[in-house]
Chain A
Amino acid sequence: MSVLVYTESENGKFKKNAFEAASYAAEVAKQMGTTATAVSFNANENESLGNYGVSKVLNISNDKLTTFNAKAYASSIRQAVEKEGAKVIILSSSTDTKYLAPLLAGYLKAGYVPNVVAAPESTAPFTVKRTAFSNKGFAFSEISTEIKIVGVSNNSFGLHENKTTATVESFDAAVSDADFSTKSVEIDKVVGKATIADADIVVSAGRGMKGPENWGMIEELADVLGAATACSKPVSDLGWRPHGEHVGQTGKPVASNLYIAIGISGAIQHLAGVSSSKVKVVINSDPEAPFFKAADYGIVGDAFEVVPQLIEKLKEFKAQNA
């Protein structure tokens, strides 16, 4: 009857969201008087999940599952759910887990609530708080099926250290050819750089940058801060930046600790994607730009003057605080 958590990894290494989902699972397990079991795929250092309150890890080690495959992963996790008799399943909110979770919900006839931002309000009835209306509201959702699936919003619950000894078992989930009826052919991905989904800091820029040739300073600022780069929708529509960087209602959500918006007006559709970020900083030449109303800090000024200064000063700051 344990709580089962899917822990995402890449090249054997757990992602930060795996530890956050594990922290959440441990909290739910505590509330329900049970334990948290993780399921991992080809992961190293499975014991590290014990730092976040997981007491058992089912590690699936299978070469066929090196690359994420939604159906094959969902079918494997379902077998782990059945083995453990789990009644609650926790996942993160990465693009892959949002692909996987509804498949799992369908297979298990389980109610699924995504975008959850806090520990359950209660576990009987099982009620969680989630964002809705593109972050303009919150809903309290009650799940009434026997098995319940919760998708935790990135960076909302946070990492909670809770040292336990995790026993690691290898788990042999059966996968069939039918599980691979949708196959990965090619992955085109920026490597070695923080992505919008899991970066602590995101540096984002809009049409105020005037053209793609001016993105050098945005990338440099992101480099100094170890941040991911992002943009507003018109910027990706104009082809100045790749589609995957577009933030907002029709683009990616950002739930970083720090979001720096440069030359972005702050239209409501853009704000929908950033309101889960903790601290928002706006640099805009127009003091009336709507983004200032949603921001925590700001500088009214020309980005072409402010950003180069910010890069220099941050370099000094980093050198001093290294």
Chain B
Amino acid sequence: MKILVCISNVPDTTSKINFTDNDTKFDTAGVQFVINPNDEFGLTRAMWFKEKQSATVHIVTVGDATVEPTMRKALAIGADEAIRVNAVPTDGFFVAQQLANIVKEGAYDLVIAGRESIDYNGGMVPGIMASLLDMNFVNTCISLDVDGTSATALREIDGGKEKLATSLPLIIGGQKGLVEESDLRIPNMRGIMMARQKKLTVIEPVDAINATQDTKFTKPAAKGAVKLATSVDELINLLHNEAKVI
């Protein structure tokens, strides 16, 4: 089985969010970039397939050269090869088209992406990719088993979960649950050394549309101070008469 894991390079979850250029660009100064948490679960599941079902695992990232340290981390965790599409990922539709091209060229059986990236929270890349390629697709995937060309997946639904039967080739939008958090891997020294030798191919983007543009960013208005109630009665009163929520 040939697996492609889509890795998004995102600001660490504790990053302070600021904007520059008259609030038209995200300020990367002082921001640490990491593997998107949803992708990390997918990458670890791919490692499981590699070890238990002898799959090969490639990773792909759409980004300029600054994303390479994050890609090397994914290689250090155990992916076999990496592909970087040399373009700045400004729009989900654009990214999906680039990835779809890689999937087609590489004839992958299974594509694991994250449910969403924690920077722009678009949640659209795996789904758009699936429809462009007419591949089967499971979103918010929390468990995946593959037997030959049959696949069984669980997905999260509002208020529970749903079991789905499908087949390869398949794309999933994965998240926590694909593996336990305690099973996530931290690159060790040997992995880091080996990652330096692994193949990282840079390819130029294909022609694609940019369907959306972010023209401006703002931050939420500063919040007033919390009102502390000294009794439960006072709290109920505030929620009823002031906030009008009960």
Q: List residues of A whose CB falls within 8 A of some B CB.
A: 70-71, 74, 94-96, 98-99, 101-107, 109-115, 127, 131-145, 181-190, 193, 195-198, 201, 225, 237, 243-244, 246, 249-251, 257-258, 268-269, 272, 275, 278-279, 281-282, 292-300, 306, 309-310, 313-314, 317, 321
Contact = CB atoms under 8 A, between A and B. Distances in A.
21 contacts: A102-B92, A102-B123, A102-B130, A112-B211, A127-B215, A131-B121, A133-B26, A141-B212, A142-B214, A182-B165, A186-B163, A225-B246, A237-B181, A243-B142, A250-B175, A250-B176, A281-B235, A297-B235, A297-B239, A300-B228, A317-B236
The binding surface of chain A is classed by DSSP as: mixed
A197 B160 CA distance: 11
B9 interface: no
Interface string B139-155: 11010000000001001
A297 B120 contact: no
B206 interface: no
A21 B164 CA distance: 27
A317 B162 CA distance: 38
Query: Main secondary structure on chain B at its contact with chain A?
Result: mixed
B131 A74 contact: yes
A134 B227 CA distance: 25
A224 to B, nearest CB: 10
Given A95-B158, A185-B163, A141 B213 contact: yes
Interface of B: 11, 13-14, 17, 19, 26, 37-38, 91-93, 96, 118-132, 136-140, 142, 152, 155-167, 175-177, 180-182, 209-220, 223-224, 226-230, 232-233, 235-236, 238-240, 243, 245-246
Contacts of B167: 181
A133 B161 contact: no
Contact of B131 (A102, A134, A278, A296): A102
Contacts of A111: 91, 93, 211-212
A104 B130 CA distance: 10
B158 A198 contact: yes
A313 B233 contact: yes
A183 B165 contact: yes
A187 B235 contact: no
B6 to A, nearest CB: 14
